Amino acid sequence: MKKTIFVLGAGKGCGNRVAERFGRNGFRVILMARNEEHLAGYEEEFREKGIEVHTKVVDASKPHSITKAFDELKAKYGVPDVLFYNVGVTSADADIKEEKDVDLLMKRYQVDVAGAYHAIQQVLCEEFSTRQGAVLVTGGGLALYPMDEYLPLSMDKAALRAMCIALHAKLKEQGIYVGLLTVTDTIAPGSRCDPALLAEDFWKMYTGRGECEMVH
């Protein structure tokens, strides 16, 4: 049976490179993002590479959007073998037009952390355990080295890291692997955090199923 990866947070950077890495190894790829036009372009690119791909519009800031999309996708393609959560608001605080208050912190937390938790809950089931499913998450170095200039993101990456480490310990008893790649620099082509390099890290984590966290 063909394996499937759900990618929540498709995009030109890490999201699509990870999806392509799994697709080249025979996975059916399901790309999810907010922008329908962008998804259509990604779908065409993947099909040209010979990768089976399908897309779904999802807003990670809205739990009901995640629930609805995952229910529809599971009904059509079955429970996935891998969930990759690659969503996060990464802009510097200086670029935020809204006031940096509690409301903003909660909105950011919903996308950066709660959205990940909610997405994971949508795939946890006996079948996911039987398939030895895997949850892969893009973390950030701000979890280890917080900066006031990126305060909401620093807080959220720390919370995301804590969640992944806690779930890793719990879910491995059920045959489920939770892996967090902590990316310590800006993701950009040609840099030490080139998306292609990160994709290789995620593939190694998936196949190795060792420790929860890898720092890049």
CATH of the domain at 171: 3.40.50.720
Predicted TM-score (pTM) of the model is: 0.95
Whether 64 shows a pLDDT value over 80: the answer reads yes
Summarize the confidence of residues 140-166 as an average pLDDT. 94
Structural domain count, the chain? 1
CB of 133 within 8 A of CB of 81?
yes
pLDDT value at residue 180: 98
Cα separation, 51 vs 152, whole angstroms = 37
Cα separation, 130 vs 132, whole angstroms = 5
User: By residue range, what is the domain housing residue 204?
Assistant: 4-215
pLDDT in tens, 71-109: 999 999 999 999 999 998 877 776 666 666 788 889 999
